[in-house]
């Protein structure tokens, strides 16, 4: 039994350690380029803190966190409200609490808080008919909508999308009647139909409804269709001029440590680093999928389903926008992109996932 547990941990930790190594090598390059800020030191500090958090969460039983998930969720909602008044604005988004030596982003932590609380609520809900399923869906949407509204005011487009991706992942695992998927699809088509009509034919009304800042972010997302993006242009040039074992020289990439870490990694470490990243994520995705199918408890399956939906979406979105095939919405690449709160949140998830019982 112990050999089995150690084997599972090795399968999980080896690709994560490789991703961390790639991340730190990139942060070392960024630190040399920037000069005035030591990204390598800060990222190392966050990873050390992350492993410390992982150990704590591995020792404490997951049922403790699920038991108090309601309070964790509402405390996080309170933090989202407070950041709107006392937070620091970065890149047009008031989403950070900034202290002397570090900053903290409540919208990132909400990914974990929402997953805990939503999985518990859905696990306790019964759905033997369409009426009960409707109540379950309303409950899930309401719990997801509350933090989304406050994050909308920051604004942080990527976080809102992730919240609903988590919810949809859990709903899929929950297994509702297929008719709800059809209805949801129709509602989605109508929503985007109205939105795009206003975007192309009545932008003034759309700006009044969603605000100038959020409109700018949506406009930036939609520009990827015409490749009208300085960030993307620089990323593609750096990728196109790189070699298998070596990168390109003299190509500046905006937001290199965060959003465009894949392009930056290729430009500094070569295409081999991208292949390693893809291989590690493939192993991790398979590992979590197996864990999803093997888990006995409904609550555990829901939690894994929400995490897996978020985890895979973040990979596809970040890599896709680096390659110019998906819009730029500012989602970091798990365990690779620079960012303290994001790193800690993924270690929080790992602490729970490594502790869940499997068949």
Instruction: Please tell me what DSSP assigns to residue 337.
Output: S
Q: Return the pLDDT at 240.
A: 81
**Closest listed residue to residue 118, CA positions, set 131, 134, 136:** 136
How far out from the chain centre does Cα 76 lie? 17
H or E segment to which residue 17 belongs: helix 2-34
Residue 185 is predicted with a pLDDT of 84
Q: How far apart are CA 311 and CA 331, in angstroms?
A: 11
Instruction: Return the residue matching tokens 């966190």.
Output: 65
Q: What's the CA gap between 70 and 267, in Å, rounded?
A: 44
Which residues, other chains included, contact 41 with Cβ-Cβ below 8 Å and sequence gap of 6+? 31
Q: Would you give per-residue pLDDT tens digits along the chain (359 residues)?
A: 555 556 667 778 899 999 999 999 999 988 888 766 788 999 999 999 999 999 888 888 888 999 999 999 999 999 999 999 988 887 777 888 887 777 789 999 999 999 999 999 999 887 767 778 888 888 999 999 999 999 988 878 889 999 999 999 999 998 887 788 888 888 889 988 888 888 888 888 878 777 776 677 666 666 655 445 677 778 888 888 888 877 776 677 878 888 899 989 998 898 999 999 999 999 999 999 999 998 889 999 999 999 999 999 999 999 998 988 888 887 899 999 998 889 999 999 999 998 886 54
So what's the pLDDT on residue 229?
67
Distance of alpha carbon 28 from alpha carbon 257, whole angstroms: 10
Torsion sign over Cα 276, 282, 287, 292: positive
Burial label for 228, CB within 10 Å (0-12, 13-18, 19+), is: exposed
Cα–Cα distance measured from residue 55 to residue 50, given in angstroms and rounded to the nearest whole number:
9
pLDDT the model gives residue 152: 87
Record the tokens describing residue 202, joined without a space. 């009545």
Q: Which residue has the tokens 């939906």?
A: 309
Measured over the CA atoms of residue 216, residue 266, residue 344 and residue 41, the dihedral's sign is negative
Q: What is the pLDDT of residue 5?
A: 58
How far apart, in Å, do the first and last CA atoms of the chain sit?
Answer: 12
**96's tokens:** 């950070």
Cβ atoms within 10 Å of 97's Cβ, excluding its own: 16
CA 185 to chain centre: 23
CB 132 within 8 A of CB 83: no
H/E element holding 88? strand 88-90
DSSP 203: H
**Nearest in space to 19 (alpha carbons), one of 358, 324, 346:** 346
| Longest Cα–Cα distance in the chain | 64
Let me know the angle formed at the C-alpha of 311 by 127 and 339, rounded to the nearest 5 degrees: 130
DSSP 61: -
Contact 261, 336 (CB under 8 A): yes
Nearest CA-CA partner of 253 in 271, 229, 275, 272: 229
The token duo for 228 is 């009208």
């Amino acid at each position: 039994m112990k050999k089995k547990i150690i084997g599972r941990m090795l399968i999980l930790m080896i690709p994560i350690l490789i991703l961390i190594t790639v991340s730190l090598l990139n942060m070392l390059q960024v630190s040399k380029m920037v000069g005035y800020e030591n990204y390598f030191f800060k990222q190392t500090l966050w990873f050390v803190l992350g492993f410390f958090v992982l150990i704590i969460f591995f020792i404490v039983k997951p049922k403790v966190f699920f038991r108090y998930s309601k309070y964790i969720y509402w405390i996080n909602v309170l933090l989202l409200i407070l950041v709107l008044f006392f937070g620091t604005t970065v890149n047009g988004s008031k989403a950070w609490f900034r202290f002397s030596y570090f900053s903290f982003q409540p919208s990132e932590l909400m990914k974990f808080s929402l997953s805990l609380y939503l999985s518990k609520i859905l696990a306790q809900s019964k759905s033997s008919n369409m009426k009960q399923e409707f109540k379950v869906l309303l409950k899930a949407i309401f719990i997801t909508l509350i933090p989304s509204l406050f994050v909308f005011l920051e604004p942080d487009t990527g976080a809102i999308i992730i919240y609903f991706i988590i919810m949809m992942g859990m709903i899929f695992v929950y297994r509702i009647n297929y008719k709800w998927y059809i209805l949801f699809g129709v509602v989605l088509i109508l929503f985007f139909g109205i939105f795009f009509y206003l975007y192309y034919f009545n932008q003034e009304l759309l700006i009044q409804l969603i605000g100038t800042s959020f409109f700018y972010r949506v406009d930036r997302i939609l520009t990827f269709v015409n490749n009208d993006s300085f960030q993307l242009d620089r990323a593609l040039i750096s990728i196109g001029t790189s070699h298998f074992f070596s990168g390109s020289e003299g190509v500046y990439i905006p937001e290199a440590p965060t959003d465009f870490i894949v392009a930056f990694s290729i430009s500094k470490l070569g295409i081999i680093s991208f292949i390693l990243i893809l291989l590690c994520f493939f192993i991790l995705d398979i590992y979590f999928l197996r864990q999803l199918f093997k888990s006995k408890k409904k609550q555990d399956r829901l939690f894994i389903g929400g995490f897996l939906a978020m985890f895979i979406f973040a990979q596809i979105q970040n890599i896709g926008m680096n390659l110019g095939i998906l819009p730029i919405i500012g989602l970091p690449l798990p365990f690779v992109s620079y960012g303290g709160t994001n790193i800690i949140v993924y270690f929080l998830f790992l602490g729970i996932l490594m502790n869940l019982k499997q068949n």
